[in-house]
Structure 1
Amino acid sequence: MSFRRGVVRQSKFRHVFAQAWKAEHCIDDVRVSRVTWDSPLCAVNPKFIAVIIEAGGGGAFLVVPLNKSGRIDQSSPTVCGHAAPVLDIQWCPHDDNIIASASEDCTVKVWHIPDGGLTAPLTDAAVTLEGHSKRVGIVAWHPTALNILLTAGCDNLMCVWDVGTGELVYQLSDSHPDMIYSVCWNKDGSAICTVCKDKALRVIDPRRGTVLKVREKVHDGTRPMRAVFLTDGKILTTGFSRMSERQVALWDTKDLSEPMAVQEMDTSNGVLQPYYDPDTNMVYLCGKGDCTIRYFEVTDESPYLHFLSLYSSKEPQRGSGFLSKRGVDVNKCEIARFYKLHERKVEPISMTVPRKSDLFQGDLYPDTASMEPSLLAEEWIAGQDASPLLISLSGGYSAPTSKHRDTIRGKPRVASQDSGATQPPVGVTTTTSTREPEAEVVPQPKVAKEVDGTERPKREDDVLNELLAEMKALRAVVLAQSQRIELLERQLARIEDGDV
């Protein structure tokens, strides 16, 4: 009788472990919203954490610096300009001080948060977008084009806005016969995927307003679903089976007739919110009311969707925020960080890959999306597409200083409250479309000092780290330049073909 030795799948993420931060690093006394809308109620970037909170007589959300911990005073200032509860919030990927909020008052507002956080209640939005006739439950910034924001409401409408001018540039009114549950852009922002109350998954070109692909009954259950685009164009969905079991499924957009993979999990009622990390190709699933966060790795090999592990705790989550990769601690091999919302507390949870070396682990941190947009709003509206510009995380990420960024970006171009004067757009680049991409400045390692303050000679490790950091920076510049050249070549070809 012969036995086959089991083959263990090789993956650097097999041993990812999750760990909650100590109590002194949590944020306490946060009155998390009790709104029944199935949104994460939280948004995080490397500067701030924003949480939708209970507010009497309107809608409000709290914004505090990311390094804030301890008790939040009940008199702390909030963003409180909505006339009804806030349902969804999302930070702009191209400016860490800009956040959009959607509300039951049928409006979407875009806010500018000052460095250091709020010192007084913020009631006047930089831009107010009015185009929905019912409550607005979804906001989604374009991943690569500056100032493009998509919104979806309970009027079954999807609107695409140029936030810089406040204009409604596209309105998709015939794509969905019922309530839209979720919207996600693909990698370069040329298409979106949606799931709707009619149980269908759709791939849509928002500029033409056409449905490119549709799959009826992605999940048989009647509870809400979610969908996210993956880097390679596949789509991951979460939903419920006919027997009310929670499911996760992977779909190939080239052929939606059958899912590539389906996994059933449990019979909990919470809608599973998928968080996708394109750098590691990992998906994290957590639902309201759950005490767990499950994580999977998506690969090109069957069964395609590999369950890695789950983080479990005693207290259920009211919502959750997912920190963008620019904010993780690369020195501790942290590949993801969640902010779990309790009833009155925000608790950070780190996802870490155990490594013995203190050196930068390049295989865990491929170049990630930078804050620099690939396109201007008008370029995307004109039909151009571009992949995200990338930066290295070697040496830790450092955002461009505000002084430097102010030379290429202005303030919102919106009518002021008391006059018809206009200002330049939120984050709009003031140079021409033929501008060269910025070279990303990678912080150099600090020179170590002895106890008496004298500088210690550099060790071989320090020199190696500096060389690696410089190589990463140069590679990022070359990549950005090649992407720009490719974009200009496509533009030239369209001009020669008479399309422009």
Structure 2
Amino acid sequence: MPLIRANLKYRHLFGEQVRKDQQFENVPISRNAHDGQFVAVNSEFLAVSCESSGGGSFLILPIDKPGRLSPLNLHKICGHSSAIIDLAWNPFDDRVLATASEDGYVKLWRVADPSEVSPAAELEHNRRLLYTAWHPAAADVLLTASYDCEVAVWADCRLCSTIGHPDHVNSIAWSPDGRLLASTCKDRLARVMDPRSGCTVAKWTCHTGAKISKILFSDDCRLLTTGFSEYSQRQYALWDLNKTSRALHSDEVDSSSGVLLPYYDPDCSLLYLAGRGDGNIRFYEISRGRLHFLNQFSTHSPQKCIAQLPKRALDRSLCEVGRLYRLHVASNVVEPVRVIAPRRGHHVSDIYPPAAAPIPALGADQWLAGANRDPVRVSLSTGEIINPPLPPPQKPQSPPQAPQAQSSSSNGGDPTHQLTPGTLRNIQHLVQAASPPRPTLNSETAASTPADPAAAAPDTAATAAPAGTSCGPEKFSRLLEKFQHLDSPSTEPSPGGDASAAVSNSACGPTADMDSSSGRPDAVSTEELTSQLAAKDVELSSLRKELAFRDMRLMRLEKELQSKESELVYLRTLLRRYGDSRSSQC
């Protein structure tokens, strides 16, 4: 067993199995043999791909209501004609789910309630889907991979670009800021590409084995891959994007035959390696360009895949730094596993660095225009936003002669500042995560240490609030003020404006009209036309790409039609020969 370095922050990390009454039992989990993500979880719901006859279906379960499910009360959502092999929740809206199916469609669903789910959008591929991944920083940007050896980028349900591969794609992943995407292919090569232009930044042989390999970004310049060696040994490797000729660190895990599935926590630099088909989850910490083994969680029941719960929904009073939901296909159970880093007292905040916030850093149009930004992060102890989102582009001011044009929203329709119900719920979760945790000290220490530092301060406003809720309303109001702040000028005309205009007209006569016709309004209208022209160019470019995509599909359909016609001619020939032989026998 590898030695654990003494200076690692999470060297005492361990996995804890929950009680049976906290598990989800009698869940009809899909038996499909694909290595996709058959389970997805957010701060409210758990989505599981189900086994069903005649199409693909999935279940939505509240994470706070575990237990044994009754077959008579299962609300299966059916919307695909084939099995669902990949699920992904929108990181910025807990009520939007993406499902990828073998029928060649990616569907977006709006979840109002576990029993009230409605389709919101539909994205089409030529062949069956393999994987989906949401952009980590931009709103409504989705990455999909299909069996036609192509990776597609969608923004606001519009096809933006397609990137071809020489063989089937094994995995896809975004960089932390969404500037690059990575993929592994059946040709044993790992590729890093620009998602907007489709250009290949780097490619190299990651693993020499012929089985499936996986890839993900550990930071902007380093990637981690899992795969098989030439002798079918499961292994992992850490790579530097600027020097892919040799791995920074690589090691063999074991000789099992199941795919090694990596799950990464970028906030804590923790890596979870789950073996598909076995009951082991290995914990690693990435530090100084190396992977350091911490611990291992083992059970006798094999797992199909796992899903990570967002940080804002963890129980900080238990020192929980992660929660993994494991799928047991044989027993039809979804089992939560708590990942705990033991701490005492005020040292609890040491294991909770700023985490990703449920707020997009930029909009889809901004990302398509070339903007890049790190995900918005929030402090789990104070609820403070670390790096605010990119403000939307300022609209040019309308002429004062048309005040009704200024009455539109100053947000410009940008999703980074629209307070949708999903965003409000996510902000409430942040406020709840910012509340002080329940103490885990013994009786003597708890008697000497206050449970809430804010309660010991001589602030009258804090002491007047109820216990345990002194931080919630204030932080929630501050967050609302941040995202409801409007930078546009007031839309009401200033008092006396008409009178001053009349005085100027009467004093200057036609000269004032000449100055006003060649002054600010013309410059403003030129800027507005320029912005509209740029928006139309972006829309035209997306339409051209979509048209090219449709042309490629039409060519493939024509080839299939020709092959079917040739088969039909051959069958007719056989039928005619068979009729001639029967007539000769008679």
TM-score range, shorter chain: 0.7 to 0.9
SS at match of 1:9: coil
Measured in 1, the distance between the counterparts of 2:230 and 2:313 equals 40
- How big is each residue's C-alpha offset from its partner over 1:211-254, in whole Å with a ceiling of 9 and x where there is no partner? 00111x21111100000001242000000001100001000001
Aligned residue for 1:57? 54
Q: TM-score, normalised by structure 2?
A: 0.67
Q: Distance in 2 between matches of 1:65 and 1:19?
A: 21
Give the alignment partner of residue 379 of structure 1, picking from 366, 381, 387.
Answer: 366
Q: Which residue of 1 aligns with 2:143?
A: 150
Aligned residues: 426
Aligned to 1:186: 175
List per-residue Cα deviations over 1:15-45 (Å, max 9, x = no partner): 1010110001101101111101011311111
Question: Secondary structure of 1:265's partner?
Answer: strand
- 2:175–2:217 CA contact under 8 A, matched in 1: yes
Q: Is the 8 A contact 1:18 1:349 kept in 2?
A: yes
- CA distance 1:118–1:355, shift in 2 (3 Å): same
Displacement of 1:201: 0.7
1:318 is displaced (CA, Å) by: 2.1
Residue 25 of structure 1, aligned match among 14, 22, 26: 22
1:125 aligns with 2:119: yes
Pick aligned residue for 1:110 from 108, 122, 147 = 108
Determine if contact 1:78/1:118 at 8 Å carries over to the other structure. no
Cα displacement (A) at 1:473: 6.3
CA contact (8 A) 1:330 1:396 kept: no
Which residue identity lines up with residue 288 of structure 1 in the other structure? Answer: R
Percent identical residues: 36
Q: Which runs of 5+ in 1 are unaligned?
A: 1-5, 398-407, 409-428, 449-457, 486-494
Q: Indicate which of 61, 78, 81 corresponds to 2:79.
A: 81
Distance 2:259 2:228 in 1: 9
Distance 1:140 1:8, change over 3 A: closer
Change (3 A) 1:447 1:391: closer
How far residue 265 of structure 1 moved from its aligned partner, in angstroms, is 1.1
User: Which of 348, 357, 373 is residue 336 of structure 2 equivalent to?
Assistant: 348
Change in 2 beyond 3 A, CA 1:118/1:200: same
Deviations 1:430-480 (A, max 9, x none): 6458969999673575999xxxxxxxxx98542347989979969x98xx9
CA distance in 1, matches of 2:252, 2:131: 27
The CA deviation at 1:11 is 1.3
> How far 1:314 sits from its partner (Å)?
1.3
Residue of structure 2 equivalent to 1:255: 243
Aligned-residue CA RMSD (Å): 3.3
Structure 2 residue identity aligned to 1:274: P
Relative to the length of structure 1, the TM-score reads 0.78
> Which has a greater percent of helix?
2
Structure having greater relative contact order (Cα 8 Å, sep ≥ 6): 1
Partner deviation per Cα, 1:195-217 (whole Å, 9 max, x = no partner): 000000111001011000111x2
- Alpha-carbon spacing, 1:316–1:465, altered in 2? closer, same or farther (3 Å): farther
**Equivalent position of 1:94 in the other structure:** 92
Partner Cα separation in structure 2 for residue 153 and residue 74 of structure 1: 33
- Give yes or no for contact 1:238–1:249 (8 Å, CA) kept in 2: yes
What is the rounded CA distance, in whole Å, between the counterparts of 1:389 and 1:28 in structure 2? 36
**How far did residue 362 of structure 1 move?**
2.0
Q: Which residue identity lines up with residue 22 of structure 1 in the other structure?
A: R
- Tell me the CA shift for residue 323 of structure 1: 1.1
1:119 offset after TM fit, Å?
2.2
SS in 2 for 1:172: strand
Which structure 1 residue ranges, 4+ long, deviate > 4 Å from structure 2? 429-441, 443-448, 458-461, 465-474
Q: Which residue of 2 aligns with 1:42?
A: 39
Which residue number in structure 2 is paired with residue 140 of structure 1? Answer: 133
For residues 431 and 34 of structure 1, do their structure 2 counterparts lie closer, same or farther at Cα, with a shift above 3 Å needed? same
Structure 2 residue runs of 5 or longer lacking an equivalent are 385-391, 393-410, 439-447, 463-469, 488-529, 536-586
SS at match of 1:43: strand
Aligned equivalent of 1:297: 285
Q: Distance in 1 between matches of 2:263 and 2:178?
A: 17
* Structure with bigger gyration radius: 2
